[in-house]
């Protein structure tokens, strides 16, 4: 029994360390979290689980999905909105994954930023020539 509890604790700890920035794209991140949830559900059963159900509560799954989202400027507002909706989204991890994907798609990628920098340099050079 103590071995199972240790496994469940270790899985929770490992899951808390998973970050979206380390697991691009979002599908890989969601898959990694789901893998931990599946392992957790295998280790926990109704006799040994702290939840009493033998499965990870959907709210905890959702919390782990949101825990790995960056806390930088690009993601701060998104995280605040998602945490504000957490009670309604707790049973819908797929919806959170979709929202993370949609937000990620709206962020400028490195290529866009490089192109903007090149265009900015070209504009400055053409203004200096005039």
pTM: 0.65
Q: How many CA atoms lie within 13 A of 127 on its CB side?
A: 6
Structure tokens at 39: 């392992």
pLDDT band at 5 (very low <50, low <70, confident <90, very high): low
Whole-number Cα distances in Å, 118 to 24, 123, 125, 126, 130? 26, 9, 11, 12, 19
Task: Tokens for 28, please give them.
Answer: 């890989």
The predicted pLDDT at position 46 comes to 42
pLDDT single digits (tens) 14-46:
999 999 989 888 899 999 999 999 888 888 764
- Per-residue confidence band for 84, with pLDDT thresholds at 50, 70 and 90: confident
């Amino acid at each position: 029994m103590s071995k199972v509890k240790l496994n469940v604790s270790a899985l929770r700890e490992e899951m808390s360390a998973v970050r979206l920035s380390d697991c691009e794209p979002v599908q890989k991140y969601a898959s990694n979290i789901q893998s931990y949830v599946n392992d957790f559900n295998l280790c926990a059963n109704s006799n040994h689980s702290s939840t009493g159900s033998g499965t990870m509560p959907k709210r905890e799954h959702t919390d782990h999905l949101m825990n790995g989202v960056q806390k930088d400027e690009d993601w701060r507002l998104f995280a605040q909105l998602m945490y504000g909706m957490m009670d309604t989204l707790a049973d819908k991890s797929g919806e959170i994954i979709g929202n993370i994907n949609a937000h990620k798609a709206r962020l400028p990628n490195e290529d866009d930023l490089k192109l903007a920098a090149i265009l900015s340099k070209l504009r400055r050079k053409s203004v200096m020539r005039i």
